[in-house]
Chains A and B, each alone.
Chain A
Amino acid sequence: MNDPSQHKLVKQLQARDAHAFEQLIETHQTRIYNLIYRMIGNREESEDLLQEVFITVFKKIDSFRGDSSLTTWIYKIATNHCINRKKYLTRRKHYAKSSYSDLSEKEQAESRNAMMENLPRPDEMAEGKQMELLIQKAIISLEDEYKIVLILRDVQNLSYDEIEQILNVPAGTVKSRLHRARMALKEKLIPYLR
Chain B
Amino acid sequence: MEHQEVKDLFTEYHDGDLSDEKKKELETHLQSCDECRTEWQAFEKTMNEISGLYHFAPPQDLAKNVEHKIHRRSRGKFFGKQKGNNIQFALISFILVLLFMLAYLMLTAVNEIIVLDDQAPDTAQPIDQ
Contact = CB atoms under 8 A, between A and B. Distances in A.
A182 B67 contact: no
Contacts of B10: 179, 182-183
A100 B55 CA distance: 26
A155 B11 contact: no
A22 B70 contact: no
B78 A25 contact: no
Interface stretch (A3-11, A50-58, A83-91, A113-121): A50-58
A189 B46 contact: yes
Contacts, number: 87
A51 B43 contact: no
B67 A21 contact: yes
Nearest to A189: B46
A50 B69 CA distance: 12
Interface string B49-66: 111011111110011011
B81 interface: yes
Interface stretch (A30-38, A67-75, A101-109, A161-169): A30-38
B18 to A, nearest CB: 13
A30 B58 contact: yes
Contacts of A22: 63, 67
A26 to B, nearest CB: 7
A interface, size bucket: 35 or more
Contact of B42 (A18, A37, A186): A186
B50 A135 contact: yes
B34 interface: no
Contacts of A132: 53-54
Interface in A137-194: 150, 154-155, 175, 178-179, 182-183, 185-186, 189-190, 193-194
Interface size class of B (residues with CB under 8 A): 20 to 34
A16 interface: yes
B8 interface: yes
B49 A25 contact: no
Contacts of B56: 30, 33-34, 37
A179 B78 CA distance: 45
Given A18-B81, A30-B57, A132-B53, 8 more contacts: A21-B63, A22-B63, A155-B53, A178-B11, A183-B43, A186-B43, A189-B45, A189-B46
23 contacts: A25-B62, A29-B62, A30-B58, A33-B56, A33-B58, A33-B59, A34-B55, A37-B56, A51-B62, A51-B65, A54-B62, A58-B70, A135-B53, A175-B11, A178-B11, A182-B46, A183-B7, A185-B46, A186-B42, A190-B42, A193-B45, A193-B49, A194-B45
The 3 closest A-B pairs by CB, nearest first: A179-B11, A33-B58, A29-B58
Interface of B: 7-8, 10-12, 14, 39, 42-43, 45-47, 49-51, 53-59, 62-63, 65-67, 69-70, 73, 78-79, 81
